[in-house]
Chains A and B, each alone.
Chain A
Amino acid sequence: MSAAGPVIPSFGRGSACVTGDHAFCWGWVRDHWGDTLEPHLVQHVELTLVAVSAGFAIAFSLALLAHRLPAIEHPIAIAAALVYTVPSLVAFQILVAFSGLSNATVEIPLTGYSLVILYPNVVAGLRAAPAEVLEAARAMGLRRRQILWRVELPLAVPAIIGGLRVAVVSTVAIGTVASLVGDRGLGYPILYALRLPTPFRTEIYAAGALVVVLALGFDLVLVGARRALVRWAR
């Protein structure tokens, strides 16, 4: 190396494992956990939590509304299903035109997709209360609002959590596509490594494993939440 340093700064560095393109280099993962993997993992967690929370808030409100006005239940379901047919790749590009390369560009489509999954589940959950139970509640003198909060919603918890599991896992997966419109989430290291002249396998495998672990981790948390909340089913 000359005194002026190499023209391409990172060229020639890295262990023999990395430059020799071995299948998996633990050393690279150790060295780049702090500057590549961890920050993207944290971004991905944020990305998912924001989108699913927003999607849940909207889906829940819409489902309550549809529960009150059955006539709008079906139109909302159809509109939601239409949203899902828009390829995520396009959704992100459209949003860039309106909200630039901001967080909103990534969160709005992700929220939309999670909403589509959550809405039917919340609606189905609210409908899950058996007729006898509702009658008993009415006979006990509960009002409509009381029936909703004390009978129907608790009985809807399993279906709602079931929907949340699917939504969270899907959002983690779709979130990787967001990296096509900027350096966000675990999709970015995967895409970056894929676009190198020789795809860098270690980075693909490591970031990919983190995506799967993250999705399964979220899923486990929700299964735990279900166990804690749905005590009567055991």
Chain B
Amino acid sequence: MGALRVVFDSADAGTFLAGFGFVVHHAGFLAHKAVEQLELSGAALGVGAAAALPLGVALGHLHRGANVAIAASILGRALPSILLIAVFLTVLGVGFLDNMCALAVLATGPMLTNAHDAVDGVEREVVEAARGMGMSRLQVLARVELPLAAPLLFTGIRVAAVTVVATAPIAAIAGGGGLGDVIVNQASYRLQGVLGACYCVMALSAGVWLALLGLQRALTPRPLRSRRVLGAGDERRELT
């Protein structure tokens, strides 16, 4: 893993500006790396969602597994990305699959927790009213619980997506590609290159956040739209 030979430049305020210069002069290269990173992140998010969302929704629907949801949120934070990459590397070898699996595990934490809490938190009276109207359990889930749970559930997806995109640079220590290739290679790109790539990662995270927020608004049924979706408090499950 040659890219890890870290050389450290000195820096002053000008270096931060030079970082913007790097972005401007190497826009094509950085865009290529950003796409690489988005591919890796998207695959990881997809795999993570396929595992976490059905499980979280099912547990929430049955009002069970609150402990599983809490454990997922703690473990999701306690497992360092470097460790996950290293462990999967010993099993899967260097490359896309290793990094994709590591990031997918990171993504499951917030998605599982939020999916559970969202469906579990749907008011019981509403569910009972729906049952009283003669809906089957599956209809209640599809027509009542999921639409009402959508905002919080989507928040989980958004948090997971940003976590994955922002963490993906670390994948470069194990051949993951993406903007991390620049970030872990100060020897070649100098500190301004590292900073330039960092600005791109930050912009990418913010872009993914806003894009998913837009998608969420578009998908939320109109009557529910007035609910705040961009609250500061809803991003983090409070562990109390």
Contact = CB atoms under 8 A, between A and B. Distances in A.
A180 B77 CA distance: 19
A37 to B, nearest CB: 14
B90 A219 contact: no
A172 B78 contact: yes
17 contacts: A86-B198, A86-B202, A90-B169, A94-B194, A97-B191, A120-B232, A173-B81, A176-B83, A177-B81, A180-B4, A180-B184, A187-B80, A190-B83, A191-B82, A195-B1, A195-B4, A201-B90
A193 B238 CA distance: 36
Interface in A178-219: 179-181, 187, 190-191, 193-195, 199, 201, 204-205, 207-208, 211-212, 215-216, 219
B38 interface: no
Contacts of A94: 11, 191, 194-195
B184 A166 contact: no
Contacts of A226: 240
Interface residues of A, number: 52
Contacts of A166: 77, 236, 239
A63 to B, nearest CB: 13
A2 B170 CA distance: 43
- 8 closest pairs, A vs B, by CB? A97-B11, A215-B78, A90-B198, A176-B80, A162-B240, A173-B80, A162-B239, A208-B83
B89 interface: yes
A175 B232 CA distance: 25
Interface string B71-88: 000110111111101110
B218 to A, nearest CB: 24
Contact of B180 (A89, A194, A208): A89
Size range of the chain B interface in the assembly:
35 or more
B173 interface: yes
Contact of A212 (B4, B79, B82, B195): B79
B125 interface: no
B10 interface: yes
Contacts of A190: 82-83, 86
B6 interface: yes
Given A162-B240, A166-B77, A205 B87 contact: yes
Interface string B93-104: 000000000000
A15 to B, nearest CB: 19
| Chain B interface SS verdict (over half) | helix
Contacts of B194: 90, 93-94
B174 A194 contact: yes
Contacts of A193: 86
Contacts of A96: 8
A177 B170 contact: yes
Interface string B5-25: 010111100010000000000
Nearest to A198: B90
Interface string B163-197: 00011011001100000100110100001001101
B27 interface: no
B216 interface: no
Contacts of A120: 232-233, 236
Nearest to B201: A87
Nearest to A78: B232
B11 A87 contact: no
A119 B170 CA distance: 26
B86 A170 contact: no
B205 interface: yes
Contacts of B233: 120, 124
Given A162-B239, A194-B1, 13 more contacts: A77-B232, A87-B170, A87-B198, A93-B194, A162-B238, A166-B77, A177-B80, A193-B86, A194-B85, A194-B174, A195-B1, A199-B90, A204-B87
A126 interface: no
B206 interface: yes
A110 interface: no
A87 B4 CA distance: 16
Contacts of B232: 77, 120
Nearest to B16: A94
Interface in B120-150: none
A173 B79 contact: yes
A10 interface: no
